[in-house]
A = this chain, B = another copy of it.
Amino acid sequence: MEILYGNAVIGQSGGPTAAINATLSGVIRGAMAHKEIGKVYGAVNGIVGLLEERLTLLDPQFADEEAFHALECTPAAALGSCRKKLPDPDKDPSIYEKLFAIFAKYDIRYFFYIGGNDSMDTVAKLYAYAAAHNYPLRVMGVPKTIDNDVMGTDHTPGYGSAAKYVAVSVQEMMRDCAVYAVPAVTVVEIMGRDAGWLTAAAGILSRYHGAAPDAVYLPERVFSYEQFERDLRSALARHPNVVIAVSEGIRLADGTYVGEGTQSGATDVFGHKYLSGAGKTLELWIKEKIGCKVRSVELNILQRCASHVASRTDIEESVLVGRSAVDYAVRGVTGKMMCFIRTSDKPYTVDIGAVDITQAANNVRCVPDHFINAAGNGITDACIDYILPLCEGELNPIYRHGMPVHFVIDKNVTVPGAKG
C-alpha cells in the first residue's frame, strides 16, 4: 500500500437525516486520528459549495468529546447539503477540471462524500476521473438515507432513527386514537416514494407493543381500493379505532400515484390544481365511501430529522462507518461505498465493509417479497426481525433549558486561500 499524505475534505449531500452528522463526526474523528491526513476541510453545501471554494476548517472546531457528541445528536446536515448530479465527464469536463484544480490548490488527497444514491454517483464519477487522470485522490462514499434504498448495504445510516421515529409516533398516535368509542379511521402517511422501508417500520409494533396499525401499504405492491375497503371494513368490525399506515408512494394498477387522485378535481382559490398526498386522498375517499370519522396525518419532515428520539444503534453505527471510511482510504481503498454486512438477526451482529461504488450508484433497493405478507397489507416476521434491531437503544442527547443542544458548525473558519 502506498502511503498518501495530504488534506481531506468532507461533504454532505441529499436530504437530511438524524444520522448524517453522526457519520460526519465519524469521518472527522477518523481524519483527525490518522497522521497521513493533515487539514480536515468541510465543503459547505456539498459539491456545489466545493465548486465555489466554500470550505471551512473542521478540526479546530472539534477540540473535545463533547463537541463530537453534540454533533452526533444534531439532525440534518451541519455542513449544509445540495442536490446536484455531475455531468458526464466526456461531455462536460470543465466542472471536473475546476474541482480537481481546487483539490490540487488545497492539497486534497482524500474526499469523503456522505449521501444517498445520487451522491454515490458523484463519488463514482470523481473516482473514475481521478483514475483516468492519474490524480492521487482517494474517494469514498458513505451512504445515508432514511429511505434505506441504497444497494450494496444491509441498511443505510439514518434509516434506523427514522424507523424508530415512525414506530414511536404511530404507537403514540394509536394511544391517542383509542380514547373515544366512536368508529374512526386514522391514516398515517409515511415517506418513501419508491421503497416502503420506512412505512414498514410502523408494522414492527405488532411484535412486542400491542398497538400496531390495522394495515400497512407499501409502494412495492399495487394499491387497490377494493382491497382497501375490505381491509377497512374488516378492521372496523373488530374495533372502533382503526389506524392505517401508507407510504406516500403507493400506486394504483395503472401506475398513477394514489395522491394524484385528488389533484384532478381540486383547485385552490387561485384556480391551481391542489396537490395532496396519499393520506389526504384516502381520508377523503373514506369519508365518502365509509362515512365514519376520519383523519389523515402526514409525518412530514420530522421523520427525517427527529434526533431527540434517534436510535442509538443507528447513531453509533453511523459514527463507526464514517470512521471506517477514513481507515479504508488511508489503507489505500478508493472508489468504494462503505456498507453494512449483517451476520445475524438474533443476536443482531453486523460487519462493516466496502463495496464497489458502481454497485451502489443510481440503483434503488426495494422491500423484498418475503418481507411483505401475501395479502399485501402488512409485513412479515422476517421483516420485523430485520427492522427491530436497527431501532434498538436510546441516545442521551444533551438538553439545556428543556431543549436538545445542537452543534452548529462555523462555516467560515479561515482557510488560507479560500474565499469568504
A interface residue numbers (CB < 8 A to B): 12, 16, 45, 48, 74-77, 80-83, 164, 167-169, 171-173, 175-181, 186, 205, 207-211, 261-262, 264-272, 274, 284, 287-288, 295, 297-298, 300-302, 304-309, 311, 388, 391-394, 399-404, 406, 408
Whether A391 and B406, one on each chain, are in contact in the complex, defined by CB atoms closer than 8 angstroms, is no
Whether A399 and B394, one on each chain, are in contact in the complex, defined by CB atoms closer than 8 angstroms, is yes
Chain B residues within an 8 Å CB radius of A180:
45, 80-83
Shortest CB distance A282–B (Å)? 12
Residue of B nearest to A391 (CB): B402
Q: Which one, B82, B176, B266, B406, contacts A305 given CB within 8 A?
A: B176
Q: How far is the CA of A393 from the CA of B12 in the complex (A)?
A: 33
Residue of B nearest to A16 (CB): B176
Supplied contacts A80-B180, A209-B403, A268-B284, 14 more A-B pairs, CB within 8 Å: A81-B180, A164-B402, A168-B308, A172-B306, A172-B308, A173-B302, A208-B403, A211-B406, A265-B269, A266-B266, A266-B269, A272-B287, A388-B402, A394-B399
Contact A302/B80 with A262-B269, A268-B284, A270-B288 known, Cβ cut-off 8 Å: no
Shortest CB distance A396–B (Å)? 9
Whether B75 and A176, one on each chain, are in contact in the complex, defined by CB atoms closer than 8 angstroms, is yes
Shortest CB distance A70–B (Å)? 12
Chain B residues within an 8 Å CB radius of A265:
267-271
Chain B residues within an 8 Å CB radius of A173:
301-302, 305
Whether B261 and A269, one on each chain, are in contact in the complex, defined by CB atoms closer than 8 angstroms, is yes
Which 3 pairs between the two chains have the least Cβ-Cβ distance? A391-B402, A265-B269, A176-B305
Q: Which one, B12, B274, B403, contacts A274 given CB within 8 A?
A: B274
Residue of B nearest to A403 (CB): B209
Chain B residues within an 8 Å CB radius of A210:
408
Shortest CB distance A330–B (Å)? 28
Whether B266 and A284, one on each chain, are in contact in the complex, defined by CB atoms closer than 8 angstroms, is no
Q: Which one, B81, B175, B181, B266, contacts A179 given CB within 8 A?
A: B81
Residue of B nearest to A405 (CB): B209
Whether B406 and A171, one on each chain, are in contact in the complex, defined by CB atoms closer than 8 angstroms, is yes
Whether B171 and A403, one on each chain, are in contact in the complex, defined by CB atoms closer than 8 angstroms, is yes
Residue of B nearest to A307 (CB): B172
Shortest CB distance A32–B (Å)? 24
Whether A284 and B311, one on each chain, are in contact in the complex, defined by CB atoms closer than 8 angstroms, is no
Q: How far is the CA of A173 from the CA of B178 in the complex (A)?
A: 28
Q: How far is the CA of A177 from the CA of B76 in the complex (A)?
A: 8
Chain B residues within an 8 Å CB radius of A272:
284, 287-288
Q: How far is the CA of A248 from the CA of B34 in the complex (A)?
A: 53
Q: Which one, B168, B284, B298, B404, contacts A404 given CB within 8 A?
A: B168
Whether B178 and A76, one on each chain, are in contact in the complex, defined by CB atoms closer than 8 angstroms, is yes
Whether A309 and B309, one on each chain, are in contact in the complex, defined by CB atoms closer than 8 angstroms, is yes
Q: How far is the CA of A207 from the CA of B388 in the complex (A)?
A: 38
Q: Which one, B176, B266, B406, contacts A268 given CB within 8 A?
A: B266
25 contacts between A and B (CB under 8 A): A80-B179, A81-B179, A164-B402, A164-B403, A167-B402, A168-B404, A172-B305, A173-B301, A173-B302, A262-B269, A265-B268, A265-B270, A266-B267, A266-B274, A267-B267, A270-B284, A297-B302, A309-B309, A311-B402, A388-B401, A391-B401, A392-B402, A393-B402, A394-B399, A394-B402
